[in-house]
Amino acid sequence: MRAESGIEPVHDFSRYLDDRPQDGVFRVHRALYTDPELFELELRYVWERTWVFLGLATQVRDPHDYLTGWIGRQPVLVMRDAGGRIGAFLNSCRHRGARLCASESGNRKYLVCPYHGWAYDSWGRNVALKDHQHGCYAPAFDAEDHDLVPLPRFESYKGLLFGCLDAEVEPLESHLGEARFFVDLVMDQGANGMEFVPGRMKYMYRGNWKLQAENNLDNYHLTSTHPSFMEVVKRRREGESANEQVRSPDFAQRLSRESGMFTFRNGIAAIWVRNPAPQDRPLHRGIEAVRRRVGELRAEWMLNLRNLHVYPSVQLADSTSLIIRTIRPLAVDRTEIGIHCLAPVGEDAESREMRIRQHEDFFGASGLANPDDSVTYEDCQIGSPPGVLDWHQGYDRGMTATLAGANDLAREFGISPVTSLRGPFKIQNETVFHAGHREWLRLMSEGASRERRR
């Protein structure tokens, strides 16, 4: 890449976004999805400069529990030490850079490098440097720190662990900002916190990561991408299918409900739909206790349907069953997705099973809906080569219904979003995507100009 070889990047990134609110125009250049050079710059300026989700505190519950993950290209390691503190480090040996830990998770008091055997404790301290006494090391070497390198920033909010490779990023809590209302609607569902239901659901699709970023906030595709799921659900309800082990939401009922969206700072955005059937949710079974704990308004909105994207890496979606979806960019046309079933700690067995069956019915590489999304991303990638056509037309629905600032619902919530929209489901707005693309432009431009200053 040019900048890495010391030559200044020549990109004026603003030419990839035609953003003219006064003219009612918002267009995204197709290069955002297909240009390998832009992708390399995104890793550095987007993924390696902002907060990236790493996991839940409940995944490293006990001393010496660890999990591994990625921030952009960098493998990282999150560990709970003997005293209960959680730390996050580069998953990279100080000696010659070998990845220390290949497993996704586990429990280890010491991590020993497979190459030359340097060993680290669960707080990242180097506790053994093999054959050190015979090494004829210069004093300069001994004066160096040989511990694992902590992430420049590592913070948590309500049990969600985030890391950042850029020390100058704003604190996580203010980064989440007003969108915390929507995070809380997820993470406060359990009186004792939230946990992942065991079971790994990971898959890759042959498409750019932004295709998943957008889809989470896309109500417009439901009736055209998922008619088979909708009809299977209908067949069960009408007794044409004998499958009674799962009661999944009837999307058709939602088409007549009120819906809307909010965008927030830092590319964070959420959509919502009023739930026509709150009684079909596992949370509903214990909703009285939830109501007493969080109040009427929040309990009602925990049952309503909400998808949140904490740009760029994680989505908290609560529209079919409650999931945390992680996005990992692998290449301009290749993305890895993790789908986690999120549940209250200590949930009763019956609600838990109901949750699991709803999750499997829709989500994951094997659900009855999720695969239909993944293949359409691949069709988008195949159908949008660079060259002839420059601009997508997919960001315009809801343009004249989108308000700057708070609407009455935001005021009811006590939040001040950047934009708000409220109206019939059929608007199926696309202005919610503007937030992510504007954040892309901000991070890319700032990243490039900071690199030039160095």
Partner 1 sequence: MRDDAEAVQAASALLAEEAAAVDERRWDDWLALYLPDCEYWTPCWKDDDELCADPRSELSHVYYRGRAGLEDRVWRIRSGKSPASRPMPRTLHTIANVRVRALGDGRLEVASNWTNHVFSLRTRDTEVFFGRYEHTLAPGDGGLRIARKKIVLLNDLIPTYIDVYQL
Contact residues toward partner 1 (CB under 8 A) are 103-106, 197-206, 225, 227-229, 231-232, 235-236, 241-245, 336, 341, 349, 352-353, 356-357, 359-360, 364-366, 368, 370-372, 374-376, 378-379, 382
Q: Which is nearer to Fe ion, 266 or 307 (CB)?
A: 307
Binding partner of residue 116 among Fe ion, partner 1, ligand FES, none, CB under 5 to 8 Å per kind?
ligand FES
Q: Which residues pair with 164 in a beta bridge?
A: 153
Q: Which stretch binds ligand FES (CB under 6 A): 73-81, 114-122, 221-229, 442-450?
A: 114-122
CB of 94 to ligand FES, least distance (A): 7
| Token pair for 170 | 């704003």
Q: Which is nearer to ligand FES, 77 or 230 (CB)?
A: 77
Q: Which is nearer to Fe ion, 188 or 373 (CB)?
A: 373
> What is the full DSSP assignment across 134-181?
GS---HHHHTS--SPPBPSEEEEETTEEEEES-TTSPPHHHHHGGGHH
> What is the full DSSP assignment across 257-276?
SEEEEEE-GGG-EEEEE--S
| Residue from the set 64, 95, 221, 257 that interacts with ligand FES by CB under 6 A | 95
132 binds ligand FES (CB under 6 A): no
Binding partner of residue 105 among partner 1, Fe ion, ligand FES, none, CB under 5 to 8 Å per kind?
partner 1
Binding partner of residue 197 among Fe ion, partner 1, ligand FES, none, CB under 5 to 8 Å per kind?
partner 1
Under 8 Å CB-to-CB from 52, ≥6 apart: which residues?
71, 72, 162, 163, 164, 312, 313, 314
Binding partner of residue 277 among Fe ion, ligand FES, partner 1, none, CB under 5 to 8 Å per kind?
none
Binding partner of residue 106 among partner 1, ligand FES, Fe ion, none, CB under 5 to 8 Å per kind?
partner 1
Q: Which stretch binds ligand FES (CB under 6 A): 55-63, 108-116, 365-373, 444-452?
A: 108-116
Instruction: Tell me the C-alpha distance between 116 and 135, whole Å.
Output: 13
| Residue from the set 98, 128, 287, 409 that interacts with ligand FES by CB under 6 A | 98
22 CB neighbour count, 10 Å cutoff: 5
Q: Give the residue carrying structure tokens 């994207």.
A: 309
32 CB neighbour count, 10 Å cutoff: 22
115 binds ligand FES (CB under 6 A): yes
Q: Which residues pair with 112 in a beta bridge?
A: 119
Q: Which is nearer to partner 1, 380 or 418 (CB)?
A: 380
Under 8 Å CB-to-CB from 224, ≥6 apart: which residues?
none
Q: Which is nearer to partner 1, 241 or 279 (CB)?
A: 241
- Residue 153 CA, distance from chain mean position: 18
Binding partner of residue 96 among Fe ion, partner 1, ligand FES, none, CB under 5 to 8 Å per kind?
ligand FES
CB of 367 to Fe ion, least distance (A): 10
116 binds ligand FES (CB under 6 A): yes
Q: Report the candidate in 435, 339, 353, 343 with the shortest Cα–Cα distance to residue 395.
A: 435
Please count the CA atoms within 13 angstroms of the CA of 130 that sit on its side-chain side: 10
Torsion of Cα atoms, 427 then 432 then 433 then 434, to 10°: 120
Q: Which is nearer to partner 1, 210 or 340 (CB)?
A: 340
Q: Residue 133: exposed, middle, or buried by beta-carbon count in 10 A (0-12, 13-18, 19+)?
A: exposed
| Token pair for 399 | 């343009």
CB of 259 to partner 1, least distance (A): 23
Q: Give the residue carrying structure tokens 């960001």.
A: 395
For Fe ion, the binding residues (CB under 5 A) are: 373
What's the one-letter identity of residue 124?
G
Which parts of 255-348 fold into alpha helices (H)? 287-294, 296-303
Strand 119-121, strand 86-90: pairing: unpaired
64 binds ligand FES (CB under 6 A): no
118 binds ligand FES (CB under 6 A): yes
Start-to-end CA distance of the chain, whole Å, equals 17
Binding partner of residue 93 among Fe ion, partner 1, ligand FES, none, CB under 5 to 8 Å per kind?
ligand FES
Q: Which is nearer to Fe ion, 94 or 340 (CB)?
A: 340
Instruction: Tell me the C-alpha distance between 69 and 72, whole Å.
Output: 10
Q: Which is nearer to partner 1, 267 or 338 (CB)?
A: 338
- Residue 296 CA, distance from chain mean position: 28
Binding partner of residue 382 among partner 1, ligand FES, Fe ion, none, CB under 5 to 8 Å per kind?
partner 1
| Footprint on this chain of ligand FES (rule: CB under 6 A) | 93, 95-96, 98, 113, 115-118
